[in-house]
């Protein structure tokens, strides 16, 4: 799948580093983006090993989305998730429209150690979760 250079979603928040816990950048990344990338990749049957640095690949990325500096590897992972999210938005919008309904797009929140949501504080140990209170995943 070719994803670099494709448009990403507008429904994504980058909150990495918002709940710092003294871990290295790679350890923080492992709790948020890497897990989302691995799940999305598995669902779509994609080999995301090189993107996650599991097979020695050296991905590069564009400019950072958040105020905190990101490595090219971290930014590439964020960009990948954003592009996949955009694909799901397009697909679900078409499927709902075919049934005469409107798809309400949730917002994807990428975080490192923990994040506040309408469902309360969630640590990275929870893994991916959806909070209906703020319609964010």
Residue 51, pLDDT score: 58
User: What are 98's two structure tokens?
Assistant: 């075919």
pLDDT confidence tier of residue 28, bands split at 50, 70 and 90: very low
Neighbouring C-beta atoms of residue 3, cutoff 10 Å:
17
Mean pLDDT lowest for which of 70-74, 82-86, 100-104? 70-74
Residue 7, pLDDT score: 84
Distance CA 71, CA 41 (A): 21
What sign does the dihedral 67-69-72-78 (CA atoms) show? negative
> Strand 12-15 and strand 114-117: pairing?
unpaired
User: What are 38's two structure tokens?
Assistant: 């691995």
Whether the model pTM is above 0.75: no
Higher pLDDT, 16 or 93: 93
Residue 44, pLDDT score: 64
Per-residue pLDDT tens for 50-65? 555 544 333 333 333 4
Distance CA 77, CA 71 (A): 10
Coil, strand or helix: which one is 46? coil
């Amino acid at each position: 799948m070719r994803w670099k250079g494709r448009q990403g979603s507008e429904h994504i928040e980058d909150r990495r580093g918002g709940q710092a816990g003294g871990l290295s950048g790679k350890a923080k990344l492992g709790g948020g983006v890497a897990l989302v990338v691995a799940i999305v990749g598995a669902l779509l049957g994609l080999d995301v090993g090189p993107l996650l640095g599991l097979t020695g690949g050296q991905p590069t990325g564009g400019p950072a989305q958040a105020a905190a500096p990101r490595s090219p590897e971290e930014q590439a992972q964020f960009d990948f998730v954003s592009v996949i999210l955009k694909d799901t938005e397009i697909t679900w919008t078409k499927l709902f429209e075919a049934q005469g309904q409107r798809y309400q797009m949730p917002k994807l929140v990428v975080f490192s150690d923990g994040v506040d949501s309408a469902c309360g504080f969630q640590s990275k140990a929870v893994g991916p979760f959806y909070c209906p209170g703020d319609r964010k995943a």
